[in-house]
Structure 1
Amino acid sequence: MQNKRSRPMIERPTYLVESVDNALRLLQMLRDLGSVRLKDAAEELGIAPSTAHRLFAMLLYRGFAVQDEKRRYHPGPAMGAGPALRGWTREFTDWSRPHMEALAGECGETVNLVIRVGAQVRFLLSAESSEMLRVSDRQGQVLAAERTAGGKILLAQLGRDTLAQLYLRPDDRADAGSWPGDRRMPRTQFDRFVHELDNCRSSGFAINLQQTEAGIAAFGMVIRNHARRTLGAISVAVPVVRYAQHLRGPLVTQMRNAVAGIEADVAVIEP
């Protein structure tokens, strides 16, 4: 007799979107094998290496894969990311949207809204610039917090003990090797990182200069509610060729004005 709680076997769809199926199979390979070469993936899927490369490029872009120095692919931060479990994020996104769109129009760059979940940041929303040379939409991505401008300014709100739990390598692992997703740092590196975050907190904004992607820089600023509890951050992503002009120009002031507007609207939101 069939258990009432059991689910019927899911049958293979009669119509397959081949590229979607191949991308999902790549995700399964990353999950089950942990390390995948481009050639092996192409052979397993029965596709050309150039096609496998394009599929992996999208997984890299969305944070589902990372690549090591030997050009092997490994599971990315989005692979281990469960749901945020925060019902307030929809309201947070809706209230932030008009301010982000206004800021994108004012500064001519792409504006992102992020929240921190552990050592990761999630991009909830992007307001894309209309400039020909611009940073593209990042909505839905999950990235390592310490490598992003929004993530850094959010980490800067934490105490040293909390940061140590996230990033300090235990003494008994001091000689341990690292893998592409490992964020643990030896003490000297950790101390430099904490000093960097102290500077971010003092200045009121953080900078990512080509840490997540070559040719891209970003500025991050925290968003709080009426009780001064951290909700998330906005980041403005810019092509690195325009980084210096924004660093000297009005961008930081424009961001502060946008944050003030967002904070007035999200004042009563409780994370």
Structure 2
Amino acid sequence: MKNKPAYAIESVDHALQLAQLLQQEGSLRVTDAAERLNVSRSTAHRLLAMLVYRDFAVQGDDRRYRPGETLRPTLISHGPISLLRQIGTPHLRELAARVHETANLQVRAGTEIRFIASVECDQVLRVGDRTGRVLPAHKASGGMALLAALDKDALRALYEDDPDHPDLDVLGKQFALIRKRGFAVNDQKTETGVVGISVVLAPHQNPLAAIALAVPSVRFNRVRLEELRSELELAAAALTRELAEHLPS
């Protein structure tokens, strides 16, 4: 389990969050940074200036900040990340409060899945905040759910340049089951002791993201799966309706 340190240094945490956002989204304005961190513009400006100083960021002529040389090259998530986070976070809070498990919002970037928002539950034993984490899409529940939405040709094209790609025939069978069930489960494939359950968000039939629950394996069983799946589907339906109102059809 990844838990927040008891004596977290807020300024360091803010700087690291900004580095994650730059890596995932490609560019930020000072105003964007201030809103994401809930800090003043002057504080956001100072944090970004330090990232520039240490080559984590560069500032262009348009005054937007972009990833610097220190951040490894990575695919950008092309979905409406800001909108997903803004609209999705209240739904994550409600879901986490109902089921008492940590709720996450995930998007796919190539063969990776990225956690763009996370709300921890109130239990002592819980899965920690996953915001900014990156995992192989074919192992994480949200990634599996989103990959299952691709047709066979698109899936093969996605992995064709990866010499270490997973067995696509095996994945194809798994994805067929996910499509039939309507949800995906990651039973400790990415982290021992953690089970993930996900449902796709597809406003206007366009799979944009996945909403997921992260559950300690000691609280997971077949009966609990049905309860969590039902609550996930309710949250996904409500969030999908709201997203559809803000996106072109």
Alignment TM-score > 0.5, same fold: yes
Map of 1:81-92 to 2, 5 A cutoff? 81-86=74-79, 88-92=80-84
Contact 2:75 2:109 in 1 (8 A): no
1:169 Cα shift? 7.8
1:256 corresponding residue in structure 2: 233
Output aligned runs, 1:42-121, within 5 Å: 79-86=72-79, 88-121=80-113
**Structure 1 residues 150 and 85 mapped into 2: Cα distance closer, same or farther (>3 Å)?**
closer
Conserved 8 A contact 1:150-1:222: yes
The answer as to whether partners of 2:201 and 2:236 remain within 8 angstroms in 1 is: yes
Secondary structure of residue in 2 paired with 1:134: coil
Aligned CA distance change for structure 1 residues 220 and 94 (closer, same or farther; 3 Å): same
2:153 partner amino acid: D
Return the alpha-carbon distance in structure 2 between the equivalents of residues 169 and 193 of structure 1. Answer: 17
SS of the residue corresponding to residue 126 of structure 2 reads coil
The structure number with the bigger radius of gyration is 1
Quick one: which of 219, 236, 239 aligns to 2:197? 219
Alignment check: 8 A CA contact 1:92 1:269 kept: no
User: Which residue of structure 1 lines up, in the alignment, with residue 174 of structure 2?
Assistant: 196
Aligned-partner Cα distance in 2 for 1:161–1:247: 35
Q: What letter corresponds to residue 103 of structure 2 in structure 1? A: V
CA distance in 2, matches of 1:254, 1:114: 17
Q: Which amino acid aligns with 1:144?
A: P
Distance 2:220 2:72 in 1: 31
Pick one of 129, 133, 136 that aligns with 2:121. Answer: 129
Cα distance in 1 for partners of 2:197, 2:223 equals 9
The amino acid across from 1:140 in the alignment is G
Which residue does the alignment assign to 1:45? Answer: none
Unaligned runs of 5+ in 2: 1-8, 17-70
- TM-fit CA distance, 1:167: 3.1
Q: 2:153 aligned to 161, 169, 173, which one? A: 161
Is the 8 Å Cα contact of residues 107 and 251 (structure 1) preserved in structure 2?
yes
Normalization by structure 2: what TM-score?
0.67
Which residue of structure 2 lines up, in the alignment, with residue 244 of structure 1?
221
Q: Helix, strand or coil for the counterpart of 1:136?
A: coil
Query: How far 1:248 moved relative to its partner?
Result: 4.5
SS at match of 2:208: strand
- Give yes or no for the alignment of 1:265 onto 2:242: yes
The CA RMSD measured in Å over matched residues stands at 2.4
CA, structure 1 residues 82+161, in 2 after alignment: closer, same or farther (shift >3 Å)?
Answer: closer
Size of the alignment, in residue pairs? Answer: 181
Superposed CA deviations along residues 187-213 of structure 1, whole A, max 9, x for unmatched, are xx3211110011001100000011110
Secondary structure (helix, strand or coil) at the match of 1:104 reads helix
Mapped partners of 1:248, 1:85: distance in 2: 31
For structure 1, the residue ranges without an aligned partner over 5 or more in a row are 1-16, 25-77, 174-181
Cα gap change, 1:248 to 1:152, in 2 (>3 Å): closer
State how far apart, in whole Å, the 1-side matches of 2:76 and 2:157 are: 21
Match for 2:157: what amino acid? Q
**Could you say which residue in structure 1 is the equivalent of 2:207?**
230
- Residue 141 (str. 1) matches residue 133 (str. 2): yes
Partner AA of 1:141 in structure 2: R
